[in-house]
Amino acid sequence: MLLRLPTSVSEAQEYLAQGAVPVGGATLVWAGWQRDGFPELAMSLRKLPEANEIGPGRLGAAVLLHQVDDRVPEVLRAAAATVGTGAVRRAATVGGNIVGSTLRCLLPAALVLDARATVLVQDRSYETDLGEVLAKRHLLLALRWNTPVVTGYRKLPAAAGGPPPLVVACAVHADDSGHRRLRVAVRDGYEVLGETTDAGPDAGQVTDALDAGPLGSLPAEARAAVREQVTDVLARAAAVH
């Protein structure tokens, strides 16, 4: 297998046109390659500047999970910190987790940030929503978002070898007029549900509004976890003026 390490977007596009397979951190594909055979040409974005940025409102797809720190919102930082083991987090990448993983541990966090994705195809790079990224399995370059008022993240304990643990991610956003909206995303098993509602002062009314939508179909334990997380996030948001 020949591994390419592009240092520019145009170079990465050239390798895509040649049929290079993106590898991310290779934590998810290595076992399959050992079983089924290695591709002739692969490509890693670890040398591409656009895919390695980390800072306010931006996170590159080639950033390793253990590098996700307090330069990004709490919800993303907590999501990255709870993926696998320390060894996995030192090898796995943001893009590999969101696009290549069936668990997609970072996806709920990215959804509540209302993140937009910069993706790379053979003839251009462009910005799109996460739904298109997942549906078409695009090569992710970076995530971008507007800074939220406050965020929160919770992953419930789960038995080893069982279903994926329940994840609840929340973020409160304010528009230019100061109006606040709450975004919630829940991973239940392998499914991710999301909803947005007004971030009013009454947590009970807010959670009742969430129960009236898709999140109301969750099991009782999951709905209780959502209520607890939403109540905490709204309380912290109320202290931010």
Q: In the CATH hierarchy, which top-level class contains the domain 150-238?
A: alpha beta
CATH 3.20.20.70 is held by the domain 2-144 = no
Residues in the chain: 241
What are the pLDDT digits (tens) for 10-32?
Answer: 999 999 999 988 886 555 666 66
Q: Provide CB contacts within 8 A for 172, sequence distance 6+.
A: 148, 149, 150, 151, 180, 181, 182, 183, 199, 233, 234, 237
CA distance linking residue 195 with residue 70, whole number of Å: 26
What are the pLDDT digits (tens) for 132-169?
Answer: 999 998 899 999 999 999 999 999 988 777 889 999 99
pLDDT at 28: 60
DSSP structural state of residue 173: E
pLDDT at 65: 96
Segment 170-186 shows an average pLDDT of 96
pLDDT at 22: 85
pLDDT at 39: 80
Q: Provide CB contacts within 8 A for 25, sequence distance 6+.
A: 64, 91, 92, 93, 96
Crossing angle of helices 203-211 and 220-238, rounded to 10°: 140
Segment 67-79 shows an average pLDDT of 97
* Mean predicted lDDT score pLDDT of the chain: 91
DSSP state string for 14-73: HHHHTTPEE-TTSTTTHHHHHHH---SEEE--TT-GGGS-EETTEEETT-BGGG--TTS-
Winning range, highest mean pLDDT, from 122-126, 141-145, 201-205: 141-145
Same CATH topology for 2-144 and 150-238: the answer is no
The residue extents of the domains of the chain are 2-144, 150-238
Q: Look at the pTM and tell me if it is higher than 0.85.
A: yes
